[in-house]
Amino acid sequence: MENLAKKVIMISGANRGIGLAITEKLLSENYRLSLGVRNPEQLPGTLASSADTVLLCQEYDARNHDSAKTWIDATVKQFGRIDGLVNNAGILHATGLEDDEEDLLDDMWEVNAKAPLRLTRLAFPYLRKSGSGRIIDIISMSGKRVKGNLVGYSMSKFAAMAASHAARLQGWDDGIRVTAICPGYVRTDMTAEVKTFEQEKMSRPEDIAQIVNTLLLLPNESVVPEVMMNCVFETH
């Protein structure tokens, strides 16, 4: 059986929500993890006891261009390789079609669209070396259709989807396999203020973690380019 302990997976925004659930699941599956978080000193207690041979926690801010390279370099220095990247960190600002919210649009473009592309670009040489590199982009159903006052969020997630597809095409010959995961509502801080849909009926971060774990186990010959996860009926 393949030795999972050798695989090194990077996860952005690993300190809470979907990123934390993925982190906890992959730790339990004996991966070595490199976490990119804005405040490493505020890592949840559940992770604090992990040895530094299996867990690196590095400062990473999606708005700071240099921190992506610093995080990649720190990962390679600590583990000597990168086998997977989970582009999870993201933000949501509600902006409608007729709102004049240029700053919010720019912020989502920076964090949701440009930052994952930057990490993908920097990780690519190492994922190539891995021979079975994986990129998992946590996008959204908002990367596939547009609803309500989420025009700006959708624009950023459609853009992230474009980068995900580009990586999927460009990495194929070198064994890099890329999946875009597109959930609807997930029960995290991001949706805590949603009043129009019950929290209990939202998908759970653990369900996404389960999918990420399965995707990482699949061989190069069985790639899943896109996963849609619905908690309500969707026509897409």
Q: Any idea which residues carry the catalytic annotation?
A: 153
User: Could you give the CA distance from residue 84 to residue 56 in angstroms, rounded to a whole number?
Assistant: 14
Whichever of 12 and 164 has its CB closer to ligand NAP, that residue is: 12
Residue span binding ligand NAP (CB under 6 A) among the ranges 22-30, 60-68, 98-106, 216-224: 60-68
Whichever of 5 and 166 has its CB closer to ligand NAP, that residue is: 166
Distances from the Cα of 162 to the Cαs of 15, 137, 212, in angstroms?
A: 26, 11, 20
| Residue from the set 16, 128, 165, 204 that interacts with ligand NAP by CB under 6 A | 16
User: Which tokens belong to 166?
Assistant: 């580009």
3-class DSSP state of 137: strand
Q: Which residue in 118, 113, 112 sits closest to 72, CA to CA? A: 118
Tell me the per-residue interface mask from 177 to 216 with ligand NAP, x by CB under 6 A, - otherwise: ------x-xx-xxxx-------------------------
Distances from the Cα of 15 to the Cαs of 24, 197, 234, in angstroms?
A: 10, 25, 30
Q: Rounded to the nearest 10 degrees, what angle do helices 115-130 and 151-171 cross at?
A: 20
Span 132-151, contacts to ligand NAP by CB under 6 A = 138, 140
Q: Does 126 bind ligand NAP (CB under 6 A)?
A: no
Q: Does 83 bind ligand NAP (CB under 6 A)?
A: no
* Contacting positions for ligand NAP (CB under 6 A): 12-13, 15-19, 38-39, 60-63, 88-92, 111, 138, 140, 183, 185-186, 188-191
